[in-house]
Amino acid sequence: MTTVRQNDDRLMRFACSIARADYDLASISNHFDRMTIVANAALLLALAVLATIAWTAFWASFLPLAAALPLGLLVGAIIFGIDQAIAASDWELAGVLRNEAPDNAYWFKASARLVVAFLLSLATATGAMLWMFGSTIEARLQEQRMESNAEVEAEYDDRKSELKSILIDPVETELKARQSERAILQRQVEEAFIQRDAANRKASQARIEAGREADGGLPGYMRGEGPRFREAQRQEAEAASVAKGVSTDVHVWQTRMSKAEQGIEQLTTVLDRKQAEYRRQSLELDLQKQRDSRWMPERNDPLMRYIALRDIKEDPEVGAAAQEFHWMMVMVLLTLELSFLVVKYICAPASVYTVRLIARTKREAAEISAELARNIESIHRGRPRSNLRVVGGQMEDGMQE
């Protein structure tokens, strides 16, 4: 039981520090008043967290998170401080404890606070909307930038193409020709190998047939060097001649292939050098393009994002939906941001704590006023009264006894 009371006491102290309520008066007030203070503190914290998240997200849309988070915390702390000031301001009796209708001064102050809270809420909602539409806004900014830079981009692309045609294209053309030549020679060599293998097989078969004719002894073969023997020798000699000629051609083609490969290696080295030169000059052209007065650099500041959001809402295709969604989210965020002000001025319950606070403040003010009067009277009794006269522009002091 003691632990529960200690926890309740800690919660009450924390809630009073958040809502700027008097703990001594809250501790002797009824349970409903204490829970009202706790509820106000919880609402203040929730709104501070909401404002911090919304503003951090807004700053993070165009700043690094390390810079956006401190800015979000700063704005959230300012809004939290203003809400705290509203919570601690003007104790008005409500409900059954109200004695008279609010006067004009009350409504003027309430309206002024409503305007301040509305402006802060509208700014928070707008920042949150800029973050929520972040992808669409960035796409629109990129589209506008590309449209503005299209002419300059095309001009420098033409210059890069001309540079490529001078440095790289001739080398690439010659390299492709050498590679094509090597491919043709490679194919011819492969076909020659096939042809030579066939000729060698044919010569081998002819030698076998000639041997069979010379030896005889097999069915269909006659011993001796007859016509079929000579025909087999002729075919062997012809096949061997073909194989020899093919080998000569292969040697010639392989020599040409070796020269072609050497040329390819040399052209590849030249191409690498030309490509490095092209990249260097291309980077120089990119720098010249960015320094060109017609070039629009990439900008992602709040003003540009707001202009892009406005353009999106005016788009003939998606503008209507964007406008509806924007106002729907703005109203939701405004309702959340203004919720404490609504609770403070419209939904305030009858509170005995407020009566105690008003009574104690008036009593302390009366005590201080009486103490001031006593001090002034004591001063008058302890000092003789002097008469001050102005004579000839000079002040003379005369004492009365």
DSSP line for 86-124: HHTS-----GGG--S---HHHHHHHHHHHHHHHHHHHHH
Question: Taking phi first (over 0 means left), then psi (-120 to 50 degrees means alpha), and beta for anything else, what does residue 377 get?
Answer: alpha
**Residue 213: per-residue pLDDT:** 60
Closest by CA to 47, choosing from 347, 337, 341, is 337
Rounded to an integer, the average pLDDT of 91-120 is 66
Q: pLDDT at residue 101 above 70?
A: no
Rounded to an integer, the average pLDDT of 78-103 is 67
In this structure, what token pair is assigned to residue 149?
């830079």
Q: pLDDT at residue 315 above 70?
A: yes
Rounded to an integer, the average pLDDT of 52-67 is 84
Q: Is position 290 within any domain?
A: no
Letter string b/e over residues 278-287, b meaning 16 or more CB atoms within 10 A of that residue's CB: beebbeeeee
Mean pLDDT of the chain: 77
Rounded to an integer, the average pLDDT of 196-218 is 66
Rounded to an integer, the average pLDDT of 237-252 is 74
**Residue 223: per-residue pLDDT:** 62
User: Domain check: are 8 and 68 in the same one?
Assistant: yes
Q: Is position 204 within any domain?
A: yes
HSE value, Cβ hemisphere, 13 Å, CA-based, for 288: 13
Q: Is position 400 within any domain?
A: no
Q: Is position 328 within any domain?
A: yes
**Residue 383: per-residue pLDDT:** 62
Backbone angles phi, psi at 386, to 5 degrees: -110, 150
**Residue 310: per-residue pLDDT:** 81
**Residue 111: per-residue pLDDT:** 79
Higher pLDDT, 14 or 247: 14
**Residue 398: per-residue pLDDT:** 47
Q: Is position 298 within any domain?
A: no
Query: Which range, of 148-162, 180-194, 280-294, averages the lowest pLDDT?
Result: 180-194
User: Domain check: are 113 and 17 in the same one?
Assistant: yes
User: Domain check: are 321 and 250 in the same one?
Assistant: no
Rounded to an integer, the average pLDDT of 234-249 is 73
Q: pLDDT at residue 98 above 70?
A: no
**Residue 345: per-residue pLDDT:** 65
User: Domain check: are 188 and 110 in the same one?
Assistant: no
Higher pLDDT, 186 or 271: 271
**Residue 209: per-residue pLDDT:** 65
Q: What is the tally of helices (H) and strands (E) in the chain?
A: 12, 2
In this structure, what token pair is assigned to residue 284?
């120089």
**Residue 401: per-residue pLDDT:** 39
Closest by CA to 260, choosing from 169, 166, 193, 188, is 188
Q: pLDDT at residue 178 above 80?
A: yes
Letter string b/e over residues 296-334, b meaning 16 or more CB atoms within 10 A of that residue's CB: eeeeeeeebbeebbebbbeeeeeeeebeeebeeebeebb
Q: Is position 142 within any domain?
A: no
Q: Is position 390 within any domain?
A: no
Higher pLDDT, 238 or 152: 152
Q: Is position 307 within any domain?
A: no
Distance CA 44, CA 34 (A): 15
User: Domain check: are 12 and 107 in the same one?
Assistant: yes
Query: 70 pLDDT band (50/70/90 cuts)?
Result: very high
For 334-390, how does the pLDDT look when each residue is reduced to its tens digit (9 = 90+)? Answer: 777 777 777 766 666 666 677 777 788 888 888 888 888 888 888 877 665 555 555
User: Domain check: are 16 and 123 in the same one?
Assistant: yes
**Residue 3: per-residue pLDDT:** 65
Q: How many other C-beta atoms lie within 10 A of the C-beta of residue 36?
A: 22
Q: What beta strand segments (E) does 237-360 contain?
A: none
Range of the domain at 364: 2-132+315-382
Q: pLDDT at residue 179 above 80?
A: yes
User: Domain check: are 6 and 121 in the same one?
Assistant: yes
Distances (CA, A) of 351 to 19, 34, 339, 387: 15, 10, 19, 54
Q: pLDDT at residue 164 above 80?
A: yes
Q: How many domains does the chain have?
A: 2
Query: 399 pLDDT band (50/70/90 cuts)?
Result: very low
User: CA angle at residue 187 from 184 to 188, to 5 degrees?
Assistant: 85
Closest by CA to 125, choosing from 66, 50, 71, 199, is 50
User: Domain check: are 7 and 118 in the same one?
Assistant: yes
Query: 73 pLDDT band (50/70/90 cuts)?
Result: very high
User: Domain check: are 115 and 172 in the same one?
Assistant: no
Query: 96 pLDDT band (50/70/90 cuts)?
Result: very low
Higher pLDDT, 337 or 77: 77
Closest by CA to 14, choosing from 41, 39, 33, is 41
Residues of the chain with pLDDT > 90, as a percent, come to 1
Task: Return all residues near 114 (Cβ < 8 A) that are at least 6 apart.
Answer: 338, 341, 345
Q: How many other C-beta atoms lie within 10 A of the C-beta of residue 88?
A: 12
User: Domain check: are 16 and 58 in the same one?
Assistant: yes
**CB neighbour class for 275 (10 Å; exposed up to 12, middle 13-18, buried from 19):** middle
